[in-house]
Amino acid sequence: MMGKQIIAELVVIIFLEKGTVEKSRCLGEVGIHMVDKRDYYEILGISKESSESEIKKAFRSLARKFHPDKNPDDPSAENKFKEIQEAYAILSNPEERRKYDTYGHNRPGGSPFGPGGFQGVNINIDDLFGGGFESIFGQIFGNSRSNNRRKKGGDLLVRHTVPFQSVYDGLEDELEIEALTSCNNCNGSGSRDPNGTRSCPSCNGRGRVQRIERVGPFAQQVVSDCPSCNALGTIVTNPCKTCNGAGNSYQNKKIKFSVPPGIASGNRIKISGQGEPPRGNIGENGNLFIEIEVLDHPWFERDGADILMALPVNYADLLLGTTVTIPHIDGKELQIKIPPNSKPGDTIALPRRGLPHMRSSRGRGSVTVLLKLEIPKKISRSLKNKLKELKSDISNSQSLEDSIIEEANNRRGK
């Protein structure tokens, strides 16, 4: 029909992410209204001027908070964790961040993660404390990078015991471990000579291969490490005799480290660069973590920076009072003044004679002494006779029932 405009009215049904259905009426064209994605900077709670370190710090903090392992009863935490990952994956990559700052979510060519969008990254919660997650995100956009991308070797964990005294003084210590170390003969290359390697034909020296996976009607590009060269980009043709082309071997090495005052069992000391070397010796070594176990003290028990002890005393000392002197971890004698008429179970506090605080400058904790009545294991006949003579003098004049009531009231603070 000439001179007339035909307007078609269409109804588009959109299935939203939360399972709801939205109907949209459009005139003249079909328009699909996608759910708006949140701003990446808003997700991480940072500004567009934030530095790389600020982006990393914000991600680490939020990822710890919403990690699914820490929120097993919160089904929304997993989606939140994935949203935080996606924001960090873009903003931690300078090129992708530049594109996002320019085009936002409507960048030319569609999502940088392919048709399937961002699928999430499996991150161990320990990596969020130790810093092992950077290399994982660095590989997301690795299909356009060369095999010169830097990788990180594996981390190591060893357990080490220290004496109780080191909790007060600190300690300069040393241990010997057997660890995977770069081969000295080939400098970690695995090749007997510089010409003993060639570019991997499977990945053309990139160290990464890409393939197309289909899920129903959709196609998704997947990038992964090349299995032929173990992501090195090169294949050893003349292997080193010392390491048989592996580039590394297990060797003993001594590690010197410092134990800080106030350390507790289960604390870990991180020594950067003393872990396993990366494959092909391209990149940086992993880290060594030393998990500390503090040996028991002969009579002290620990509660953070406070220390506790039980002090056995006889009845005469409780009744008359006395002063007990014992050696202490700070090098000065510990004088415990027991007041007259003390009872078994009473406590005596000695402030600022405990252990130093590990992560603050609040000085030292306290020593708490619990008084316990010491009963002789053997009593001579003469002592028994004396006790019988003194029994009426040292016994309470109250009736048994009144004594029980008085003790209960004292225990309840009445």
CATH level 2 (architecture), domain 40-140:
Orthogonal Bundle (1.10)
Instruction: Supply the pLDDT for residue 129.
Output: 63
**What CATH superfamily is the domain 156-294?**
Heat shock protein DnaJ, cysteine-rich domain (2.10.230.10)
pLDDT in tens, the chain (414 residues): 444 443 333 333 333 333 434 433 333 333 334 446 899 999 999 999 999 889 989 998 898 888 887 887 888 888 898 899 899 989 988 888 988 998 888 877 677 776 667 877 667 666 666 555 665 666 566 543 434 445 678 899 999 999 999 999 999 999 999 888 888 788 777 888 877 788 888 887 777 787 777 766 666 667 787 888 877 778 888 888 888 887 887 888 899 999 999 999 999 999 998 988 887 666 788 899 999 999 999 999 999 999 999 999 999 999 999 999 999 999 999 999 999 999 999 999 999 999 998 877 778 999 999 999 998 888 888 888 887 887 777 777 777 788 788 888 887 887
Instruction: Supply the pLDDT for residue 381.
Output: 86
301-375 CATH choice from 3.40.50.2300, 3.40.190.10, 3.40.640.10, 2.60.260.20: 2.60.260.20
- Every domain of the chain with CATH number 1.10.287.110 lies at 40-140
- Every domain of the chain with CATH number 2.10.230.10 lies at 156-294
Instruction: Supply the pLDDT for residue 207.
Output: 77
- Every domain of the chain with CATH number 2.60.260.20 lies at 301-375
Instruction: Supply the pLDDT for residue 287.
Output: 92
Instruction: Supply the pLDDT for residue 6.
Output: 39
Instruction: Supply the pLDDT for residue 219.
Output: 67
How many Cβ atoms from other residues are within 10 Å of residue 343's Cβ?
11
Instruction: Supply the pLDDT for residue 218.
Output: 67
Instruction: Supply the pLDDT for residue 26.
Output: 38
Instruction: Supply the pLDDT for residue 122.
Output: 67
